[in-house]
Amino acid sequence: MIVNAEGQVLGRMASFVAKRVLRGDQVIVVNAEKALISGTKTGIQTEADRRLGIRNWGNPKKGPYMMKRPDNFVRRAIRGMLPYNKNRYGARGREAFKDVIVFMGVPKKEIEKYDKTFKPANINEISDKNIQKKPLRKYLYVSEFCKILGNKTTIKQNTI
């Protein structure tokens, strides 16, 4: 299944993808940099500053680290929705997480490696519940958020 992240709220999309992966599907997420994070820019920025300030007092190089590239950031958000710890359910989540592939942009050559035709799934049409969508007034793109974190990568224009 291919999921187009453009215009989708990150948390909702991540929970949808996690549920599909736990069922056994292989999910490819494209346009990861165009996913939305809901909230005001200042609120999101203060949360990013708080997370970046967390360090190990003994040795700051030991982390924790935040993902700064949009594809890795979205992949980490999906991992947060899976049972990944070392308890009896964690092995199931770790195995399922191997089936999650996230791309910035739409690299058609890479998608063809997985024998998939590009027909992106719209989460709002597929979701089990008919939730009435409210228009988001305050949001930030994942690419903008990653620039706040210190991302310096750009998307190659020939992949889209």
pLDDT in tens, 138-159: 888 988 888 888 887 776 654 5
pLDDT of residue 116: 60
**What is the crossing angle of helices 10-23 and 90-97, to 10°?**
100
pTM for this structure? 0.78
Average pLDDT for the chain: 80
63 — pLDDT class (breaks 50, 70, 90): confident
pLDDT of residue 135: 62
For residue 1, pLDDT over 90 is answered with no
Could you tell me which residues come within 8 angstroms of residue 120 by beta carbon, excluding any fewer than 6 positions away? Answer: 2, 3, 4, 30
pLDDT of residue 131: 45
pLDDT of residue 45: 86
Q: Quick check: 100 and 21 in contact, CB under 8 A?
A: yes
pLDDT of residue 79: 92
Domain limits, the chain: 2-159
Q: What CATH number belongs to 2-159?
A: 3.90.1180.10
pLDDT in tens, 37-51: 988 888 988 888 887
Q: Closest Cα partner for 138 from 45, 46, 41, 47?
A: 41
